[in-house]
Amino acid sequence: MELNTIERDDLGAAAEDLVVPPAATRKVFVKTYGCQMNVYDSQRMTDALAIDGYAATDAIGEADLVLLNTCHIREKAAEKVYSELGRIRELKAERAKAGREMLVGVAGCVAQAEGAEIIRRSPAVDLVIGPQTYHRLPAVLAKARSGEKIVETDYAVEDKFEHLPQPKRAELIRRGVTAFLTVQEGCDKFCTFCVVPYTRGSEVSRPVAQIVAEAERLADAGVREVTLLGQNVNAWHGRGEDSEEWGLGRLLFRLAEIPGLARLRYTTSHPRDMDDELIAAHRDLPALMPYLHLPVQSGSDRILKAMNRRHMAKDYLTLIDRIRAARNDIALSGDFIVGFPGETEADFEATMQLVKDVNYASAFSFKYSPRPGTPGAEMNDQVPEAVKDERLQRLQALLLKQQRHFGASLVGRTIDTLVEKPGRQAGQKVGRSPWLQPVIVDEKAGEIGDIIQVRITKTGYNSLFAELA
């Protein structure tokens, strides 16, 4: 067995004491925080590392490399990383005592936002790598293994997707019948509360050919449902195979032609970028699932303006009407922020009213978290924590009621379900409804990857129970 020795003076061990295993036996543990884009990126990093000789592991204790793929969206999300790094530091010290090397990397949006500061706060960290530079990971690791601390957060000029290796077909099959596919990165909207334009950079659309090729690979590996991802996914645009400029609607029609792909979704959308063609796709494209995540954040025009959302509450409601006219069984989901600076009780009531007007099938709601470097953090009239707490509780109670109501409305109906994986309990399988709910069925109801017709018998906490129709 070939042994590599490296120098690590911060561990207090002599260079020749520390041993790294040869490439083929190295293991990487990846922990993912934040949004689906990070889930996708973690997979692509794992793919890049597989070529570099790292096998993925779920056991942090046996990892030669620990990668945290982090989120900076709210303070809590970012702070989680530091408490995790505290635990990892102890683990790393134990490993060093046992004479084995463990590299620690921080990727994702905290990496981009805080850079070298992370290594200052957590000396156990060996490398910091921003979301646009993952294709450089093997090179960065080679340097880190030789003892250098690396911070790689430049926005790469080259396209990371073009340089990231594709996973093996067997690996895609292992990942299951639903998949994410990032089509757009970054954001140019600059909402005043949000870090994304700073952590992910400006908006970039992946080219049509690259997306189609990736979707074909997924379909070839048995994937039935693909969710297109972007922080502003409906702003995606690109030159199509006919040399015309395509929007997301056209792209969806193209992807629906791929044999095997039965279901398409996209997330997350901005209300300003819902164009006619995309709305028409909801009417004319059966593969496009009748579920739309369309965040509005607030129902108050004053607050929407201060947030730089660039539309009014009425615009959003009109848009919802148009989308529902195109596809009447569409279920809506949203994001809300309570306690943005200057939010009065009347502003909050406007949000409650908008929620009542729209009637959501599901939603996410958050207390405003001032983020360093964003305009919102500098605003004067910050809302007290206790007020935010109280408003969040009221909003969540209303949203939960709507979500329950939506679930209950499906009981007795016959719907399509994509059989996705074995259930937690023996004898069961879990499927996915058109509206993203888990559907619990008997394991004999269908094979994984089948789309079956089921009748909903009752609702669970977050799921539906069903029998073969």
- Interface residues toward ligand F3S, by CB under 6 A: 34-35, 37-38, 71-73, 108-109, 195-196, 199-200, 231
* Piece of 173-181, 313-321, 367-375, 399-407 that binds ligand SAH (CB under 6 A): 367-375
Residues 6+ apart with CB under 8 A from 288: 252, 256, 264, 265, 281, 282
Count other Cβ atoms within 10 Å, centred on residue 431: 27
Q: Looking only at residues 165 through 204 of this chain, which bind ligand SF4 when binding is defined by CB under 6 A?
A: 187, 189-191, 194, 196-197
Instruction: State how far the Cα of 25 lies from the Cα of 21, in Å rounded to an integer.
Output: 6
Q: Looking only at residues 233 through 272 of this chain, which bind ligand SF4 when binding is defined by CB under 6 A?
A: 270
Instruction: State how far the Cα of 7 lies from the Cα of 29, in Å rounded to an integer.
Output: 22
Residue with tokens 């979301």: 131
CB of 189 to ligand F3S, least distance (A): 13
Asked if 211 and 233 count as a contact pair (C-beta separation under 8 A), the reply is no
Asked if 368 and 383 count as a contact pair (C-beta separation under 8 A), the reply is yes
Q: Looking only at residues 64 through 93 of this chain, which bind ligand SF4 when binding is defined by CB under 6 A?
A: none
- 337 touches ligand SAH by CB under 6 A: yes
CB of 333 to ligand F3S, least distance (A): 15
CB of 183 to ligand F3S, least distance (A): 14
CB of 211 to ligand SAH, least distance (A): 19
Question: Distance between the two ends of the chain, CA-based, in angstroms?
Answer: 58
Buried b (16+ CB within 10 A) or exposed e, 13-31: beeeebebbeeeebbbbbe
CB of 189 to ligand SF4, least distance (A): 4
Output the furthest CA–CA distance in the chain (Å, rounded): 70
**Is the dihedral angle over the CA atoms 306, 307, 311, 317 positive or is it negative?**
negative
Q: Looking only at residues 111 through 150 of this chain, which bind ligand SAH when binding is defined by CB under 6 A?
A: none
Residue with tokens 């607030």: 298
Nearer to ligand F3S, 34 or 339 (CB): 34
- 270 touches ligand SAH by CB under 6 A: yes
CB of 149 to ligand SAH, least distance (A): 30
Tokens matching residue 397: 């109670």
Residue with tokens 């993912």: 32
* Piece of 54-62, 88-96, 159-167, 363-371 that binds ligand SAH (CB under 6 A): 363-371
* Piece of 87-95, 188-196, 415-423, 425-433 that binds ligand SAH (CB under 6 A): 188-196
Nearer to ligand SAH, 77 or 441 (CB): 77
- 231 touches ligand SF4 by CB under 6 A: yes
Distances (CA, A) of 166 to 38, 49, 80, 255, 306: 17, 11, 30, 19, 42
Query: By the criterion CB under 6 A, which residues form the site for ligand SF4?
Result: 187, 189-191, 194, 196-197, 231-232, 270
Query: By the criterion CB under 6 A, which residues form the site for ligand SAH?
Result: 73-74, 193-194, 196, 231-232, 268, 270, 295, 297, 335, 337, 366, 368-369, 371
